[in-house]
Structure 1
Amino acid sequence: MARRSNGQAPQEPVDWVTRAADDAIRHAGGDPRDPAVAETLRAAGTVVTCASGISPSGPIHLGNLREFLTVHLVAEELLRRGVPARHLHSWDDYDRFRKVPAGVDPSFSTHIGKPLSAVPDPWGCHDSWAEHFKAPLRDALAQLGATMEEVDQTERYTAGAYTEQVLHALARRDAIEDVLARHRTKKPAPEEVSEEEAATLADSVANEDEATQTGDLGRFPYKPFCRTCGRDTVTLTSYDDETTDLAYTCDSCGSSHVTNVRDDHEGKLVWKVDWPMRWSVEGVNFEPGGVDHATPGSSYTVGKEIVKLFDGRAPSFVGYSFVGVAGMAKMSSSKGGVPTASDALRVLEAPVLRWLYARRQPKQAFTVDFGPEVVRLYDEWDALARKAADPAKRDAQVLAFERASSTSTAGRLPTPTVVVPFRTLSSIADVTAGSAEQISRLVGDLGHEHGTVADLEPRLTRAITWTNEFVPAEDRTTVRATPDRELLAGLGEQERTWLYLLMEHLPSAWADESPDLDRVTTVVYGVPKLARGLALEDSPTDEVKADQKAFFNLLYRLLVQAERGPRLPTLIVALGLGTVTELVTAP
């Protein structure tokens, strides 16, 4: 889709990022149609704030990555227009530790109820549970060219940055409860969801609004962490509006304390109050959220009203859907074993991973497939790159390619100097056991001229990784070390004729010891034609097509101990004329 003006030719393409950026500008008081809007906002000292937030309770997986990249892409669009903008990210590490995931010592249940920033790292490599999961995401975002201004909610709360807002919430707690109560009965209509989506919803805090105790303080909008054991498993016993003293007894350790909300900074607002409070403090103009946050009675719909009690306004919002992973039954951040951005970047170039999120509207769910689909994905990406090189073909697809390829801070993200199809690199990696030097030589033999192995990066390393770690063992290629003499001895007349013709014509594909892949392809597909009295260049008949299938099957069995494998011409070039001759020549 492209913008049109007075019936004129299409101008700048439009996509979901464009529209979200327009909404953010409007929220900030600007007019996106005004050519001078950037100057107007800058003169007013306005910075458009695009916010994200996440609780680092477990591996920050590819579903969570949508939170970051949705905001990043919108902030980048604003910066591209010259609009003052920032990506403000909140680490909600003052949230409670909710449950012990699989693979962690069950004794860690003693930490349930503590802030994530106060739970030790069971693996011993970071200062806390929260930092353990923040660190790899920061590294991945750096590779993705996504920069952001980070806010640590533990630091903000414990430093008293929100004290006035907390006291205001407590003073207006009856009004807050009125809002919550009105929405409490508004439940979304049931709908069918996948097992993966159900797992994500089960971990969501979007609809949390449970009373923590009975009595007048049962839905108190503020909860302290116990001064003795550090957990939020407390029963509130009294609150004095004048002194702001809040008394409680800890259900876990049995101790009783009085915390002064104004001075002690030992707790936080409950989620459905905390989020809109921060909108007002940070002046958020745009913030996405999972679709679970926008259902009736959930946190965004409630927050739109509660933020008014803080004299603020809810940001423009887009709800994003789930991101699944092929072969993974669940994608819950509180469970181990879910693919993260770092995992994906071991197989996908950074622009390709960004493109998966840029090309789809946030409301569209999609699946990342680390199986054979990776090969097709790279083919599609390379085709789009060729299209993007033609200015006359610039459309919304090309716009998504551009958003994926570069950023305002990192510039153009790393791509190979010499682009070799991923399917070619992975096939060669398969038959050479991942030897970069051999791959480089064979790539040159296949006509992809390059100076050094570095010209093939970062794709080469990813192709080797994918082949070694993501291709099932039964689909890997095992080149025969010696000829299958039993198979060769039992060949029929037609099969012997095919092999004779192959070895008669195949050497013509090697000139000056360098193979010509096109010539190898012509010979391999042409052998059954020659056996039927046709020329190499003739179109195949139905009989020839059947013969080709049988001939290819024979070659795979003779070369790699399987009935299928990498594309035969590429495999033959990778093995070399000498090896092929040794393996297919009948005794």
Structure 2
Amino acid sequence: MSIDSSEHVVDTVAPEDWVTRLADEVIAEAQRRGIETIICASGISPSGPIHLGNFRELITPHLVADEIKRRGVACEHLLSWDDFDRFRRVPKGLAGVDESWEEHVGKPLTSVPAPQGSAHPNWAEHFKAPLLEAMAATGIEVRQISQTEQYRAGVYRAQVLQAMRERGIIDTVLGRYRTLEAAAEARQRASGKGKRQDHGSGQQQKLTEEQAAAATEAERGSGAATEDDGSEGRAGYYPFKPFCSVCATDFTTVTAYDDDSHDLTYECAKCGHVEQVNLDTFTNGKLVWKVDWPMRWGHERVLFEPSGVDHQSPGSSFVVGKDLAPIFGWERPIGPMYAFVGIAGMAKMSSSKGGVPIPNDALEVMEPQVLRWLYARRRPNQSFDVAFGPELQRLYDEWDALVRKIEAGPDGGPQPGDVAAHLRATTVATGEGVRPLPTTPRPMPFRTIASVIDITQGDEAQAVRILSDLDPTNPITSTDDLRPRLDCAERWMLGYVPAEDRTIVRDEPDAELLGSLDDDQRESLRLLVDGLDRHWSLDGLTHLVYAVPKIQRGLDPEAKVKDPELSRAQRAFFALLYRLLVSKDTGPRLPTLLLAVGAERVRRLLGAA
């Protein structure tokens, strides 16, 4: 369908969300430029763990491209792997990596061995693999481009020669921005603010010091993060950086270049090798980052590509790219800035991924729709946290509340932006229409499932039995009905909740505590035990535990009473039950806890059997 058509292949969403607005801008820009197929792009360097901040680089253009496709407009999402970037330093604390990797510094990422024990052929492929798994799980489809393959196949030969011809203009542009950047840094120092934080340190502000260091290492490994623009040697400025034919590193300096013959001479500071090559055939090198990026915009005809905060400061690559893109016959794409993604509640996490959470870590405890929703509901310039601690339960509560609103239709009161975010979280556009993502058939409350997993110590069969008892009129017939949410809750409870916060049900009654109770406390326990059989369901037990203090005060158990004294009595009653059942003042919701413990064991622990 042509780009200016008003027909839609599938229904689009309400206009009150950021994705719709950006799609409107991109389509209008495509019409202005006379472009038939819109290209949205992401660029990621597999230099280390590709964390949840990097994921925003991928999912932002995915959501925009998805909306454009929903309107029946030709659109493609490219993922450009910056795997021809240099290996900059050996990350600390990364499993399977030691100081011997130091010898590979300066080589392309695809020429560096993968960490020990990896099934992948090189460093780049090792770190690509988890993201590709996460993309498949979250419905993100792209056309992948390997920059190693592109450069080594000579795909960019004409652009490399163009950059070398125009190196004087490029150097002048970069020099102007170098001056601006230096002035901005001087003003920061004078104001006492210091140098701007890099993406990694700001990104991981809520991680431990070790995890933050690992995240920073990963970020610094990216050519994008280092803002490389080349340097001027004794022979002048050159935007092309060869890899040495002997030691395979880029510790090279161009010492001569002939514009007519395209002969280039370089020397290597690492091994001392000197060589003359011809750029008509030589493909073992690449343009420096600040030139490489705008070159690729032109080659791929990119119309939309977001970038992080670090790319939009004075002198950074996205800013400079505005003046360099015309050299390659293109205009800079529309590119909103995206903000940092923080991490909350990651005190315990696997070190096998380098100490920094990646999308697969999130997908261990989040359904794919929930993870997509986290990114879809926030504008790109809004920062937010991905929660792995207790906040995760509240996140699921919010998601389930939204789903109920959507299912209720207009009467449920969903806002247009909520409807749009939900649609983007649960479906993706394809050539055949809209495809729903797989979902949990019986999405019981996450906190309930987690509580049962906690109480049963991960005994799945027992957990499912208890969960079936929560709704006797509609029992669970298969664990498949609860997946993937059951698996997410189990991994979260057993893998992320500290041991001291877990629930351990007592084996024997607390004789000392039972012996110290007064008459009112004993009466409250009797009322509860007497009502267990009649109220043995989630709703029934919820009613019972709140009714006992009312009955003791001569109130109607069905009455809704707002009385501070009654509230204090209920809290005291709950605390007593928790101490008798789990030796703590708090714990999982009491109705869930009672169901999980079982009626006979409850009676015994409360001293009634």
Of 391-400 and 421-430, more deviation after overlay is shown by 391-400
Name 1:321's counterpart in structure 2: 339
1:469-507 CA-partner distances (Å, limit 9, x unpaired): 111111110011222222222323332222222222223
Query: How far apart are 1:133 and its partner, in Å?
Result: 0.4
Name 2:165's counterpart in structure 1: 171
* Matched AA of 1:454: D
398 and 260 in structure 1: CA distance in 2 versus 1, 3 angstrom threshold: same
Query: How far apart are 1:313 and its partner, in Å?
Result: 1.2
Aligned equivalent of 1:361, options 359, 379, 384: 379
How many equivalent residue pairs?
558
Query: How far apart are 1:326 and its partner, in Å?
Result: 1.2
Query: How far apart are 1:186 and its partner, in Å?
Result: 1.9
2:522 aligned with 1:496, yes or no?
Answer: yes
2:429 aligned with 1:429, yes or no?
Answer: no
2:73 aligned with 1:73, yes or no?
Answer: no
Name 1:264's counterpart in structure 2: 282
Aligned equivalent of 1:443, options 467, 473, 490: 467
Aligned partner of residue 433 in structure 1, secondary structure = coil
Query: How far apart are 1:181 and its partner, in Å?
Result: 0.9
Aligned partner of residue 53 in structure 2, secondary structure = helix
Name 1:114's counterpart in structure 2: 107
Query: How far apart are 1:207 and its partner, in Å?
Result: 5.9
Name 1:547's counterpart in structure 2: 569
211 and 270 in structure 1: CA distance in 2 versus 1, 3 angstrom threshold: closer
Supply the distance in 1 between the matched residues of 2:21 and 2:15 (Cα, whole angstroms): 11
* Matched AA of 1:160: G
Name 1:181's counterpart in structure 2: 175
* Matched AA of 2:309: V
* Matched AA of 1:302: V
Aligned equivalent of 1:57, options 32, 47, 56: 47
* Matched AA of 2:417: A
2:576 aligned with 1:557, yes or no?
Answer: no
571 and 241 in structure 1: CA distance in 2 versus 1, 3 angstrom threshold: same
Aligned equivalent of 1:293, options 311, 318, 323: 311
Name 1:5's counterpart in structure 2: none
1:159-192 CA-partner distances (Å, limit 9, x unpaired): 1000010001000000001111111122357468
Supply the distance in 2 between the matched residues of 1:328 and 1:301 (Cα, whole angstroms): 34
1:36-71 CA-partner distances (Å, limit 9, x unpaired): xxxxx8xx8x21100111110011110000011001
The 5 Å alignment of 1:106-505 reads 106-123=99-116, 124-187=118-181, 188=184, 190=188, 195-197=201-203, 203=220, 205-206=224-225, 208-209=227-228, 212=231, 214-217=233-236, 219-327=237-345, 336-392=354-410, 393=414, 395-409=416-430, 411-447=435-471, 449-505=475-531
Q: Say if 1:320 and 1:364, in contact at 8 Å, map to a contact too.
A: yes
Name 1:24's counterpart in structure 2: 26
Name 1:508's counterpart in structure 2: 534
Query: How far apart are 1:328 and its partner, in Å?
Result: 5.7
Query: How far apart are 1:206 and its partner, in Å?
Result: 4.8
Supply the distance in 2 between the matched residues of 1:543 and 1:386 (Cα, whole angstroms): 34
Query: How far apart are 1:531 and its partner, in Å?
Result: 2.6
Supply the distance in 1 between the matched residues of 2:499 and 2:605 (Cα, whole angstroms): 23
Aligned partner of residue 29 in structure 1, secondary structure = helix
12 and 522 in structure 1: CA distance in 2 versus 1, 3 angstrom threshold: closer
1:199-221 CA-partner distances (Å, limit 9, x unpaired): 7787363562465464233x310
Supply the distance in 2 between the matched residues of 1:258 and 1:328 (Cα, whole angstroms): 52
Supply the distance in 2 between the matched residues of 1:236 and 1:267 (Cα, whole angstroms): 11
557 and 296 in structure 1: CA distance in 2 versus 1, 3 angstrom threshold: same
* Matched AA of 2:551: L
Q: Which runs of 5+ in 1 are unaligned?
A: 1-10, 32-40, 510-514
Q: Say if 2:87 and 2:107, in contact at 8 Å, map to a contact too.
A: yes
Q: Which runs of 5+ in 2 are unaligned?
A: 1-12, 206-211
Q: Say if 2:233 and 2:253, in contact at 8 Å, map to a contact too.
A: no
Q: Say if 1:328 and 1:338, in contact at 8 Å, map to a contact too.
A: no
Aligned partner of residue 169 in structure 1, secondary structure = helix
Q: TM-score, normalised by structure 2?
A: 0.87
